[in-house]
Structure 1
């Protein structure tokens, strides 16, 4: 693959920092990834170019393999993308309550300063969040604590319904049946898609008979 000059400079600045925290650069996926016993944690760098201005969005999240191995059987993701699917993903902006935040960069000096800000965020907040978020109890809480509201930790709210239910079942959440009822109604209202609803019901049936042993 061919990297833009901006991406080459970006990775040169950030790779030593993420390497010290056991993250490996995967340039073809535009991300740094750290593999764990439960799945992986990742930081995704998405630049967009507008003349002499570059807008950089930084997303970060994690994958729990146990959740995803069930979810991907019922979601409509292409098979090639399933091993890379995140369970949680959000931007630095969303994490800080700024919905549309992007870093604006016009020069190498601004790029260097932006990288310093990114590194500071992960040292102060990001790495700790990722370290805790991959576990089933944390996923259950983050996905399901406010079932009637959009979840800030995912972009696709329909996928949230699937993964929230799976996390609740695996975590033995006593509110599992209530969550199923809530997400069923929300999915019907959001998608108006009988095919999607059928997949969801098949997953519910699967989970009702699922045993991790």
Structure 2
């Protein structure tokens, strides 16, 4: 089963399930998405080629976009495409990582594998996924998840440089009493792992946040 066929059958098999929960299919963005007052929540599918021809790997990611956080953070992030910014997730985690199983993917070789994968996805969403998505809509939710353990990598974002930017924005919007400590923690992280442009833009962001909301 080639990649395009796998994708098409996957979306078709899950369409009714996600539609019943208020999610609409955005095939060009490879996801099911549900708008929320704060932005949106989504389920994203990454389909890639397996070692053998016509076999595929399917990885599933769930997450959200908080418009308040992204409207500020995206002004300072080095994004490859301006068009991508309106679709950027604030939080994103694979279903495998959510269950503390790194690099978990479904191997699809035939229709039976596809049916088993879809059933597993439905079970995950019903047992954990939908409830998780319902708890990550507000700025305080974002602040809590990104900034609870600032000295450790966050499993709720793949790009840890972006975590620094989005974490500090969420802390500011949430009036976090830990803002100064977080600012310095992420500054140290970028000093070690970021490039010059990322460090410079972070300082621009911090200066912007110092005056945000004062007028």
Structure 1 length normalisation: TM-score? 0.95
Alignment of 1:1-213 (within 5 A): 4-50=4-50, 51-77=53-79, 78-191=81-194, 193-211=195-213
Give distance in 1, aligned partners of 2:6 and 2:106. Answer: 13
Aligned-pair Cα RMSD in Å: 1.3
| Aligned partners of 2:36 and 2:137 also within 8 Å | no
Q: Identify unmatched segments of 5+ residues in structure 2.
A: none
Displacement of 1:46 in angstroms is: 1.0
Note the alpha carbon deviations across 1:97-155, whole angstroms, 9 max, x for none.
01111111221011011101101111111111111112111111100000000000000
Q: String of CA shifts for 1:58-103, please: whole Å, max 9, x gaps.
A: 0111000000000000001121110000000010000000111111
Question: Structure 1: 5+ residue runs without aligned partners?
Answer: none
CA offset digits 1:22-61 (Å, max 9, x no partner): 1010010111110111000011111112224311000111
Q: Distance in 1 between matches of 2:25 and 2:197?
A: 38
What TM-score do you get using the length of structure 2 for normalisation? 0.95
Q: Matched residues in 2 for 1:47 and 1:74: separation?
A: 30
Q: Please report how far the alpha carbon of residue 212 of structure 1 lies from its aligned counterpart in structure 2 after TM superposition.
A: 8.4
Q: Matches of 1:171 and 1:203 in 2, distance apart?
A: 16
1:12 to partner: Cα distance: 1.0
